[in-house]
Amino acid sequence: MPTTGGAPTSSTQLAAITRATQEVAAGLLDDHVRHCVLEAARDSGEAGQARMDEVAAAIRQVIRL
């Protein structure tokens, strides 16, 4: 880990914060997808399609990170 005078640099700290945020987002996405896919499998027709649309929207939102 690069340091200046023994302390982590700003870029190192920013990278760590970014990575932590990405891990939280991935966890939330995983939970959301599991819930939506199960619900879509239980629902039929338009309700199931609406759930899958919700999954796709969640994935698009995380990709924008």
Nearest-angstrom CA–CA distance, 17 and 15: 5
Res. 2: pLDDT tops 70: no
pLDDT for 20: 92
pLDDT for 36: 79
Give the three-class secondary structure for 44: coil
| CA-CA-CA-CA torsion sign (9, 15, 18, 22) | negative
How does pLDDT run across 20-64, given as a tens digit for each residue?
A: 988 888 888 888 888 877 877 787 788 888 888 888 888 888 787
Nearest-angstrom CA–CA distance, 25 and 18: 11
pLDDT band at 16 (very low <50, low <70, confident <90, very high): very high
3 beta partners: 8
Question: Contact 59/29 with Cβ under 8 angstroms?
Answer: yes
